[in-house]
């Protein structure tokens, strides 16, 4: 089994200036690498949050021309780090987009992608409404990325409310769970820490949850509090509410230890 390694979660406040957001994220990646991070995780939609869903279709990029997919593979190669790009909005030929996460190896190769399965269609208090399905085509397949230290189960934001996805990832061999997000401030204050700690505890996995923070000029607020959580549910790092990053040492042996003490993955029973 691989020994301990250092993980970073980047936290930004993306608006609708893609070039600015990429430059800001790349700067923080460099800073995290300089502090010893070997796996660096970024939030959902870290290159752009638009004021309306329709703008993702009007101003979005296909996979072949998305500027992040030239910048960050080169950066991974230069810094010799693994990057988990929380998600990019990728325009599809059929008129919608995928909310797509990428894992990039230290040689700059894209080794895994995941399309967000569960879409954020909710009506919150005081008229706060989201309809992700109007523009996003949901994914249909779970994804696990093979890292030098173990296996990373991939997910995005609203997926965290669907524990069967994470159970399937853990049963398929995931040691770590990535949950990049742009969680709303409303739901984050109520549910973020609880849901993420639960996913770690019930599966005996580390959780790496890079989130967006801050308030946009059109009023949208995201919760921040990027978290690194160990398999026993302890919060190893919390980024708070401002842009920046957090680091933590991750020991894959702790996954084996937690699962040996509470072997719930071996106790699953099919329901009729």
Residue numbers annotated as active site: 44, 116, 157
- Burial label for 267, CB within 10 Å (0-12, 13-18, 19+), is exposed
DSSP 267: S
Can you spell out the DSSP letters for 135-152? TBPPP----EEEETTEEE
Which structure tokens are listed for 38?
């070997």
Report which of 82, 35, 87 is spatially closest to residue 61, judged by C-alpha positions. 87
Q: CA–CA separation, 120 vs 53, rounded Å?
A: 12
- The alpha-helical segments, DSSP class H, found in the chain are 18-34, 53-59, 68-79, 163-171, 185-187, 193-203, 253-261
Distances (CA, A) of 179 to 79, 186, 207, 269: 23, 18, 7, 26
Q: CA–CA separation, 18 vs 72, rounded Å?
A: 14
Q: CA–CA separation, 244 vs 13, rounded Å?
A: 10
């Amino acid at each position: 089994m691989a020994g301990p390694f250092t993980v970073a979660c980047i936290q930004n406040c993306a608006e609708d200036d893609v070039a600015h957001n990429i430059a800001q994220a790349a700067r923080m990646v460099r800073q995290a690498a300089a502090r010893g991070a070997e796996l660096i995780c970024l939030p959902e939609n870290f290159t752009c949050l638009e004021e309306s869903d329709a703008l993702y279709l009007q101003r979005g990029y296909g996979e072949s021309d998305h500027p992040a997919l030239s910048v960050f593979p080169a950066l991974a190669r230069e810094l010799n780090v693994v990057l988990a790009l929380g998600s990019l909005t990728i325009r599809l030929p059929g008129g919608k987009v995928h909310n797509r996460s990428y894992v990039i190896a230290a040689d700059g190769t894209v080794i895994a992608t995941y399309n967000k399965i569960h879409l954020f269609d909710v009506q919150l208090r005081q008229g706060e409404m989201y309809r992700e399905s109007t523009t996003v085509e949901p994914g249909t397949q779970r994804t696990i990325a093979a890292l030098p230290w173990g296996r990373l189960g991939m997910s995005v934001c609203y997926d965290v409310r669907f524990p069967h996805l994470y159970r399937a990832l853990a049963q398929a061999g995931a040691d770590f769970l990535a949950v990049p997000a742009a969680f709303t401030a409303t739901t984050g204050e109520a549910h973020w820490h609880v849901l993420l700690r639960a996913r770690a505890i019930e599966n005996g996995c580390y959780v790496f949850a890079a989130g967006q923070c801050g308030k946009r000029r059109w009023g949208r607020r995201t919760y921040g509090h990027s978290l690194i959580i160990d398999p026993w549910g302890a919060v190893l790092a919390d980024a708070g509410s401002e842009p920046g990053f957090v680091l933590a040492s991750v020991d894959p042996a702790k996954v084996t230890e937690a699962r040996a003490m509470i072997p719930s993955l071996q106790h699953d029973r099919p329901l009729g």
